[in-house]
A and B are shown apart, each in its own frame.
Chain A
């Protein structure tokens, strides 16, 4: 599947920074791409423009060689003609139709038998067959999300667009539904673009990421790569997490989990119903990493990694120090500290991280 999405759009708003988004996606199936940014960055406008619900002032959108929008030729394909699945923030289920009728809504052009067959298949796929006869006010938020996904995917769209799919849920349900959503996104085999401003969601749900700040796309790439090497201070401040480390839970002791990552071991507070053997992503902000000279003294941090400095980048009064601890790690320290410690590429130091500074996310 190499269905490529190409976007280059501009849209002005009174009293706000104009949106100038330009990116291309090699929209592979089975992995969501995250459209990430703080609220007001223009993510939703971009997503709605892709769905055809909003018309940019100028630019061009094409998908798999087909033009969806061309400002120069004043052409804008309506949503009906784009074959896109769009999931609104609050799912927008039709309140007067049953769950089954909602799911079958997009199958108008098909025969009765085919409609029935697809609806049943979608209901079973999303494990909502027992809700078929209920109406949206009678189901929970997590169930509503599955109904909305089933409804959006029933007409077999070529691209799935999700607008903050977890924001309508209360916090306790959110992490459970997120795991569920991740599982569904892996199975559906439709290229997906997902808007969020939540780092945990980005790390957990996406493979690729497009970062938007103040109306403009600032960086695109793999999630871990973008978090580790943000292009510029603006992106760094937005993504906030420098380190996303893949690992596996190997032990649990008194509420502290041990995560095996590359050749290193990370200790972290237990979170999210993780058990021994589970794959996990350990997120560590660069500010949470302290560097010590050898030999290390005692302190309260649970993690002490012996590591080698592999690179140093200056960002004003802060230095971004790349380390190899058996896994890659980035520390943000002041330039003054770096100078006092006389750090340079090749120096060997101890990186200390508190167990509370490690945020575990289920992949």
Chain B
């Protein structure tokens, strides 16, 4: 069993979730409340990773962040390192790959907060930020939690993008799903079985805890 690979997977999923919480919420807010006519363009771009083969996404990303691209060169000048085949590059790819899984539940939750409550808040002198913090966020907490969990679980299970961007460096970019593939290639079924089982267990546990927690969140507001 490859504990190191599982560690890389968990670390990657955790950071992806955190970064998506930070950048997913503003995007979701914009998607939910913008009245721009061409909003659908942005929505489509955000949702693209849902349908795109991971290899396509990975290929373009590899080109975009490679040492010959402006982005890759800028990164190299600042940090002295390269993005492809590094954990940071893998993280950047995972964030893009899981973006819709974070943004869509959040945007749906933000959008379902009743407009009259937002109006009441505005009439009571609250700024946009205060309205978001005191009304929108608490009322859409389940949606935000769902977005975070889905991006965590989705990152845990990703394969194609990791292979394209991260390669297969033990302890750095070899995630659990890659490790399983390697074991199977080496006809080492026993190890593959163990790692698979562990990954299944972790994923299931994460979802289980979330759904159980969400039920509590809802019932806290229901009339008793």
Name the one of B119, B124, B138, B223 contacting A105, with C-beta atoms under 8 angstroms.
Answer: B124
Given A135-B221, A137-B223, do A108 and B130 touch, yes or no (CB 8 Å)?
Answer: yes
Instruction: Write the nearest CB–CB distance from A50 to chain B, whole angstroms.
Output: 11
Name the one of A52, A90, A96, A105 contacting B121, with C-beta atoms under 8 angstroms.
Answer: A105
A155 within 8 A of B: yes
Write the B113-136 contact mask toward A (1 if CB under 8 angstroms, else 0). Answer: 010110111111111001000110
A279 within 8 A of B: no
Which among B122, B127, B224 has the greatest number of chain A C-beta atoms within 10 A? B122
Instruction: Write the nearest CB–CB distance from A80 to chain B, whole angstroms.
Output: 5
In the docked arrangement, what's the CA distance between A108 and B135, Å? 14
Instruction: Write the nearest CB–CB distance from B35 to chain A, whole angstroms.
Output: 12
The bracket for how many chain B residues form the interface is 20 to 34
Contact, CB under 8 Å: B125 / A80: yes
Name the one of B123, B127, B130 contacting A51, with C-beta atoms under 8 angstroms.
Answer: B123
B139 within 8 A of A: yes
**Interface of B, helix, strand, loop or mixed by DSSP:** helix
Give 9 new A-B contacts, CB below 8 A, not counting A135-B221, A152-B124: A84-B123, A93-B120, A94-B120, A96-B139, A96-B221, A97-B134, A105-B134, A109-B125, A137-B221
**Interface of A, helix, strand, loop or mixed by DSSP:** loop
In the docked arrangement, what's the CA distance between A92 and B120, Å? 7
A311 within 8 A of B: no
In the docked arrangement, what's the CA distance between A52 and B122, Å? 9
In the docked arrangement, what's the CA distance between A79 and B224, Å? 35
Write the A90-103 contact mask toward B (1 if CB under 8 angstroms, else 0). Answer: 10111111000000
Contact, CB under 8 Å: B221 / A80: no
Given A90-B116, A135-B221, do A80 and B135 touch, yes or no (CB 8 Å)?
Answer: no
In the docked arrangement, what's the CA distance between A51 and B125, Å? 11
Contact, CB under 8 Å: A92 / B127: no
In the docked arrangement, what's the CA distance between A61 and B131, Å? 26
The bracket for how many chain A residues form the interface is 20 to 34
A169 within 8 A of B: no
In the docked arrangement, what's the CA distance between A108 and B117, Å? 17
Contact, CB under 8 Å: B114 / A92: yes
A86 within 8 A of B: yes
Sampled A-B contacts (6; CB under 8 Å): A86-B119, A86-B120, A86-B123, A105-B124, A108-B125, A138-B223
